[in-house]
Structure 1
Amino acid sequence: MSNEVTVQIIVSEDMEIHQVGQSQMTKVVNPALVMRVPFVPTGLSLAIMVITTGIDFSKEHKMTIKIFDPEKDETLYTTNENTLNLPNIVSDNFNFNLDLKNVPFKHNGMFEVHFILNGETTIHKFKVIGNEDLTVPGTIDGNK
């Protein structure tokens, strides 16, 4: 396998994991580039799938996944740094799946998923749009 790691990040409303024999099958439910919600601020439930290929599992790796708000320069969610030490894995594709509940999105806008592997960052952008903006002008989180 080559030394180059390839990464694809998918944001969706949900994911379902089914056991099929010795392996698992993951179904992505309603993948989206725009997550529409009734109002902001909101606690949004979403799923993140990070698909990778090219990871050398004979070595130890450091990995973090986070949701970042570039407008406020704020991390909304993080796995913190995890050590991957999976020497018995032989796979062309390896998935990292997150099923998140009530992540706080305080305003409409563009957000980012960061997948960081050994200091190398892959970024996927997605948008959150509320049908109604409930922020109050002049408050800490107000965006008007």
Structure 2
Amino acid sequence: MIKVIEHRNEELDMSQSQIIFSEDLETIQNGKNNILKVINPILQLNIPFLPTSYSFALVAITDDVNFNEPHSIEVILKDPSSNVLYSSGIQQVPPLPNTDNLNFNLVLKNTVLKSEGEYIAYLIIDEIEVHKQILNIKVK
């Protein structure tokens, strides 16, 4: 069961989390490092008709999580009726010393959108909902 908390710092050593929806993601190699390129961030999609399938991406990021310890991370996307459209499943993250930020990148291809409204992505760490982000879907 997922716990929803008002003051996340009381249960996790965490100062910030964020979810960003976008049209796509691209990874660019820069020497030994990879650079994540977020292509056209979005908060609302205006689509011509429903139902439809649509491809988009999301990036979940956290900082100041104590990654000297293992954690479980999950990203869930729900439709306006609270049906789960996507779940990453619970991903086990081993200890990552000297890590302050963790990106969790997803590209969701041909996701079925059946209705207008608020589609919500949840970032869950150690069974605690640490952030949620709304993507509004409208027919235009």
Q: TM class by shorter-chain length?
A: 0.7 to 0.9
State how 1:102-113 maps to structure 2 within 5 Å.
102-113=110-121
Higher Rg of the two aligned structures: 1
Residues 46-105 of structure 1 show CA distances to partners (whole Å, capped at 9, x for unaligned) of 010112101222211111101112x322001111111111x3452332211001101111
The amino acid across from 2:17 in the alignment is V
Query: Quick one: distance in 1 between partners of 2:70 and 2:100?
Result: 17
- The aligned residue for residue 45 of structure 2 is 35
Query: Structure 1 vs Structure 2: percent identity of aligned residues?
Result: 31
Q: 1:73 aligns with which of 76, 82, 86?
A: 82
Computed over aligned residues only, the root mean square deviation of the Cα atoms, in angstroms, reads 1.6
Query: Quick one: distance in 2 between partners of 1:31 and 1:15?
Result: 10
- The aligned residue for residue 57 of structure 2 is 47
The normalised TM-score by structure 1 is 0.82
Deviating beyond 6 angstroms after TM superposition, the runs of 4 or more aligned structure 1 residues are: none
Query: Quick one: distance in 2 between partners of 1:22 and 1:116?
Result: 30
The amino acid across from 1:126 in the alignment is L
Structure 2 portions without partners, runs of 5+: 1-11
- The aligned residue for residue 3 of structure 2 is none
Q: 1:23 aligns with which of 28, 33, 46?
A: 33
Structure 2 residue matching 1:90: 3-state secondary structure: coil
The normalised TM-score by structure 2 is 0.84
Structure 1 portions without partners, runs of 5+: 132-144
Aligned residues: 128
- The aligned residue for residue 123 of structure 2 is 115
